[in-house]
Amino acid sequence: MAEAPADPRHVLDRQVLEMLVCPLTKTRLTLSADRKELISIAARLAFPVVQGVPLLSLEEARNVEPEELQALSRQPPG
């Protein structure tokens, strides 16, 4: 079954994304392919995006496995 299109009110704006940084390392964040997480490669943490709102709390973050980081580094930017 195909996933329903995202509500436009819940989509993370690209300009907002460019302004956000990791709360731990202050480095740029990368949007995951499924657009459900912002990933800090430097901190090896993934922060959830819930209804278009990034939860940039260390308590909300999950650790990113090295294999995931390697896959991210192979993705084209954008």
Report pLDDT digits (tens) over 24-51.
Answer: 999 999 988 888 999 999 999 999 999 8
Tell me the pLDDT band of 5, cut-offs 50, 70 and 90: low
More confident position, 9 or 65: 65
Buried b (16+ CB within 10 A) or exposed e, 29-39: bbbbeeeebbb
Q: Which domains does the chain have, with CATH numbers?
A: 11-74 (2.20.25.10)
pTM: 0.79
Residue 34: what pLDDT?
Answer: 87
Backbone angles phi, psi at 54, to 5 degrees: -75, 130
The overall average pLDDT reported for the chain is: 84
Tell me the pLDDT band of 16, cut-offs 50, 70 and 90: confident
